[in-house]
Amino acid sequence: MRAPSEGPSSQTVNALLKLRELILGGEIKAGERMSELLLVERLGVSRTPIRAALIRLEQEGLLRALPSGGFVVDAFNERDIHAAIEIRGTLEGLAARLAAERGVAQGHLEDLKCCLSGLDELVPFLQASDDGCARRVRRHLR
């Protein structure tokens, strides 16, 4: 376990959350270079939390490191999105099974019910035609 001083700072977490939101929301486009100085101005945090957030986003697959230094927003396609949904569904199924086997607090059950509701909404999305699927993906990425 990490000592409290080794954990991520709240500025890093805030920068990470905001950058992830900007990328997934389409405000920062695929192929766009991530300028530390512009991000410092835009997010109002220093360069150190920005750097840490950029490294984490690269680990998550949202950014790609450039050979010359820095990062660029990585493009992802419909196949990538399907793979992510499939992996998430598998992990959520495993989590539900483990919770059923080991027991879980009532508050956590409510969270699981919300998760299942979201999965139920995705089933038609996954079964849609490629054309319909593409439209839904674009709508969900906005």
* Predicted TM-score (pTM) of this structure: 0.55
Q: Cα(6)–Cα(65) distance, rounded to whole angstroms?
A: 24
- Which of 62, 84, 61 lies closest to 137 in space, CA to CA? 84
pLDDT in tens, 72-119: 998 877 787 788 888 988 998 898 788 888 887 888 778 878 887 877
- Which of 30, 28, 31, 50 lies closest to 40 in space, CA to CA? 50
Cβ burial of 2 (10 Å; 0-12, 13-18, 19+) is: exposed
pLDDT in tens, 16-57: 999 998 988 888 989 999 999 999 999 999 999 999 999 999
Which pLDDT band, with edges at 50, 70 and 90, does 5 fall under?
Answer: very low
Could you give the angle at the alpha carbon of 115 between the alpha carbons of 110 and 120, nearest 5°? 125
